[in-house]
Structures are given as C-alpha cells and as structure tokens.
Structure 1
Amino acid sequence: MSLVYENKIIGAGDMVSAFQGEKMFILFGDNAPDTLKDFCYTIDIKDTNKEITVGQILDIDGNKFEITAVGNVAEKNLTSLGHMTVVFDGAKEASLPGSIYVENADMPELKIGTIIKIEG
C-alpha cells in the first residue's frame, strides 16, 4: 500500500469532544476561523501524494478504516487549509463536500501526537 497522506495532530480545541456523539471529527490548519477553532484538531498544512479515493484506508494510530465516500472539495480543502471532516458512518455518498466518510465504526480517541494516514 502506498502512502497518500500523513499528518500529526499538534493541537486540540476545547470543544473537540462535542462531535464524538455524531462520530465525526474536524481537522484544520492553524488558520481555522474563530467560530470553528474550539471544535477542531490542529494539523500542519501538507500536500497529498496522490488523489484521495473510495476504497483507500484511513489509519489513525494503527486503527484502520476503509474510506466509503469522499466529498468533492475534501482533498482541495485538506491541502490548502488543512481542513477536513471525517465521519464514521459508512455513507456511500458525501453529503458534506469537505468531508471523507469511513466505515461505520467507533471513532478512536484522538489526542496531540496522533498520527493520521491515508493509504491506498
């Protein structure tokens, strides 16, 4: 499997747990809008090595989840803003254009230092 993307969580807003019940989390570079900043995990802005597609694997500290849908601006937002929402509901179509969807599973714990990879 080749590495599509890799990053590390370097910060966390005070309200990141607010979306755990909805089985989702939000990543953003250090330029997150003030209205979102408290709800986001902070990452560095990095490019992808290739396109993010359905069937690839999201790896969070060794916990692997198959990607089931990719929003039409998810990759663009990730590489330009460090912004992406990850939803653990197994959706086959992206209802939010800046999101990726992975298999319906319990969301792993995220913390400062968590490594996020996409492999495909």
Structure 2
Amino acid sequence: MSTHYSTQVREIGPEAASFASQGMIVLFGSEAPPELREFCYIIDQTPYEGSLEAGQTLEIDGTEFPVTAVGDVAQKNLTDLGHVTLNFDGSTRAKLGGTIYLSAPDGAALPQMEVGSKITIRD
C-alpha cells in the first residue's frame, strides 16, 4: 500500500462547514484568495506522487473513503494550489473538473475536520 498524498488542516474558515449539507468539503492551500478562504479548510500544499484515480482511498483522521471518480484537473489543482472539492455523493462519473468524488461508508457522517486533521490518499 503506497501513500500518494499526505497533508494536514492548518486553518478552518468560519463558513467551511457550510458545504456539509451538500455533502462537500472544500480544501485550499495557504494561498487561498480572501474571498474563498472563509469557505475552505486550509491545508499544507504538498505534491501528489503518481496519478490520482478512482479505486484509491482517501483517509481523514483514520476514516477511509473510497475514491469513486476524479475530475480532470483535480490532481493538478491539488498539487499546484492545494485546492480541491471533496464530494461524498459516490458518483462514478466526474461532473466537475476540480472535484474528487468519494463514497462514504454506510451510515457514516461527513468527517468533522479540525486544525491538525490528517488527510492521506493511498492505493
């Protein structure tokens, strides 16, 4: 099992949880524009090793979420900007280019991230 990506939440915008009702989490690196920063979980910007693809596992603080689809610019945005939307609707077809689609375990709520939360993506 190899880890392709690892980061930590450094800051949480006051409105970051507002997307939870839509089943989404928005991540952005430290260079997030001020008009977006309040809606984002600010993370360390780190490179992605290898290819981001369906079938991998995204883990948040020990809870695993299978990757079901990946938008065509999600990996580039994640590496270059630390920016990606996590959508937990389980779609198997990417509708938005900058989004990673995930499947939540049965009955699992959206993860409640806090400063220091760890996010990894692995095979």
What TM-score range do you get, normalising by the shorter chain?
A: over 0.9
- Whether the 8 Å contact between 2:14 and 2:39 is mirrored in structure 1 is yes
Aligned ranges 1:6-25 → 2 under 5 Å: 6-25=6-25
For the residue of structure 1 that corresponds to 2:19, the secondary structure is helix
State the percentage of identical aligned residues: 42
For the residue of structure 1 that corresponds to 2:35, the secondary structure is helix
Offset at residue 94 of structure 1 (A): 1.1
Aligned ranges 1:81-96 → 2 under 5 Å: 81-96=81-96
Offset at residue 107 of structure 1 (A): 1.0
1:100-120: per-residue Cα shift (whole Å, max 9, x none)? 000145211111000000011
For the residue of structure 2 that corresponds to 1:10, the secondary structure is strand
1:59-98: per-residue Cα shift (whole Å, max 9, x none)? 0011001000000000000000000100000001111100
* Higher alpha-carbon deviation: 74-83 or 98-107: 98-107
Instruction: Report the aligned-residue RMSD.
Output: 0.9
* Corresponding letter in the other structure for 1:107: L
* Higher alpha-carbon deviation: 31-40 or 110-119: 31-40
State the distance in 1 between where 2:44 and 2:90 align. 27
TM-score (norm. length: structure 1): 0.96
Task: Give the gaps of 5 or more residues in structure 1.
Answer: none
For the residue of structure 1 that corresponds to 2:36, the secondary structure is helix
Whether 2:77 is the aligned partner of 1:77: answer yes
Offset at residue 22 of structure 1 (A): 0.6
* Corresponding letter in the other structure for 1:109: Q
For the residue of structure 2 that corresponds to 1:17, the secondary structure is helix
TM-score (norm. length: structure 2): 0.94
Residue aligning to 2:121 = 118
* Corresponding letter in the other structure for 2:91: A
Aligned ranges 1:1-120 → 2 under 5 Å: 1-105=1-105, 106-120=109-123
Offset at residue 4 of structure 1 (A): 0.8
The number of aligned residues is 120
For the residue of structure 2 that corresponds to 1:86, the secondary structure is strand
